Amino acid sequence: MTDLDAEIARAALLLQQGGIVAFPTETVYGLGGDATSDRAVARIFEAKGRPSFNPLISHVPDLAAARALGEFDERAERLAQVFWPGPLTLVVRRTKDCPVSLLATAGLDTLAIRVPAHPVAQKLLRAVGRPLAAPSANRSGQISPTTAEHVRQGLGAKVDMVIDGGPCTVGIESTIISCLGEAPVVLRPGGIAREDIATALGTAVQGLNADPLVPNAPGQLSSHYAPRAKMRLNAQAPMPDEAWLGFGPDPDEAAALPEDRRRNLSPSADPVEAAANLFRFMHELDASGAATIAVAPVPPRGLGEGINDRLRRAAAPATN
């Protein structure tokens, strides 16, 4: 047994006993707890300082396990077959005997469910043998973690264990699709582009202007993913006292900034590279002490839609 296998076995035992464990997925690090345990789910809310009306995603190892929790129609089946394991969350009706805590679903009769692709997440889910509720492993509303160190800095002793699986490859949270109504709806853009989902379904996929005070999926609060610094979006160049988060070629003003106050999501303007770097660079620029982070425009194509969603929420005034 490798050291990582031993860590996963220890984490599985902690989770089965009601503990909470941070673990890597391909999107961001998740703060996992037994989704069937009210007490474990309550511990997640407490550790994150998360509003209890904000539902959590349940993670399972495969589609068969997902079917035991939710009712999959033809559209949900198609999306699961194409994109799972991967950064897609499906919102479906709970089955009659669904064991997931109602606290995890904010009392709704629906369930947000995902099959992560990360090998550590897969091994952990199979070792635990039950669904894991796992929002991002950070304080609610703050920048999502894409490394184990981000988790340790943000949550510290509030989490029982952190499994270090290296940096996350996708870097932004999963796309959430509702399969409840007449047409599928994007509840949260994320790691899979809307265009790819539309191609898989053979039909256009609409977005939803959700009520930020009554979210029906994770990540819909108007203020979310926020650094301590203010965010100035769609900036053409930084001011001398700002930090700079670039995309594509940097302006001359960025080169004049201290090294710790300038980052570029993707000098080649690749939205996939930008998504992978987004939260890590936000953490690093926030640590620089700059009062404001100026952010270059990111075109809303492909994963750019999810990147812009995270940036808008990071820039929004706090609602608490």
Each residue of 166-177: pLDDT tens digit?
A: 999 999 999 999
- Asked if the model's pLDDT at residue 210 lies above 90, the reply is no
β-bridge pairing 243-246 and 262-264? parallel
CATH 3.90.870.10 occupies which residues in the chain?
A: 3-207
> What percentage of the chain reaches a pLDDT higher than 90?
75
Each residue of 93-150: pLDDT tens digit?
A: 999 999 999 889 888 899 999 999 999 999 999 999 999 999 999 998 899 999 999 9
Six-digit token string for 302: 């492909």
Task: Taking residues 226-231, report their average pLDDT.
Answer: 88
- Asked if the model's pLDDT at residue 213 lies above 50, the reply is no
Instruction: Supply the pLDDT for residue 51.
Output: 61
**Within 13 Å and on the Cβ side, how many CA atoms surround 129?**
6
Picking from 82-96, 279-293, 301-315, which range would have the lowest pLDDT averaged per residue? 301-315
Instruction: Supply the pLDDT for residue 154.
Output: 94
**CA distance linking residue 21 with residue 137, whole number of Å:** 9
Instruction: Supply the pLDDT for residue 49.
Output: 82
Q: Which CATH superfamily is domain 3-207 in?
A: DHBP synthase (3.90.870.10)
CB 175 within 8 A of CB 90: no
CB 187 within 8 A of CB 205: no
Burial class (CB in 10 A: 0-12, 13-18, 19+), 303: buried
Sign of CA dihedral 64, 36, 150, 296: positive
Each residue of 230-253: pLDDT tens digit?
A: 999 999 999 999 999 999 999 999
Locate the DSSP E strands across the chain: 21-23, 30-34, 57-59, 70-71, 88-94, 110-114, 132-133, 161-162, 175-178, 185-188, 206-207, 230-232, 243-246, 262-264, 292-295
From the CA atom positions of the chain, what is the Rg in Å? 19
Burial class (CB in 10 A: 0-12, 13-18, 19+), 74: exposed
Confidence grade of residue 303 (pLDDT, cut at 50, 70, 90) = confident
- Asked if the model's pLDDT at residue 165 lies above 60, the reply is yes
Instruction: Supply the pLDDT for residue 318.
Output: 65
Instruction: Supply the pLDDT for residue 317.
Output: 77
Instruction: Supply the pLDDT for residue 302.
Output: 85
CB 115 within 8 A of CB 60: yes
Instruction: Supply the pLDDT for residue 50.
Output: 65
Each residue of 20-55: pLDDT tens digit?
A: 999 999 999 999 999 999 899 989 988 988 666 678
Confidence grade of residue 215 (pLDDT, cut at 50, 70, 90) = low
Confidence grade of residue 208 (pLDDT, cut at 50, 70, 90) = low
Q: Average model confidence (pLDDT) for the chain? A: 91
Instruction: Supply the pLDDT for residue 220.
Output: 52
Instruction: Supply the pLDDT for residue 223.
Output: 52
To which H or E segment does residue 46 belong? helix 38-48
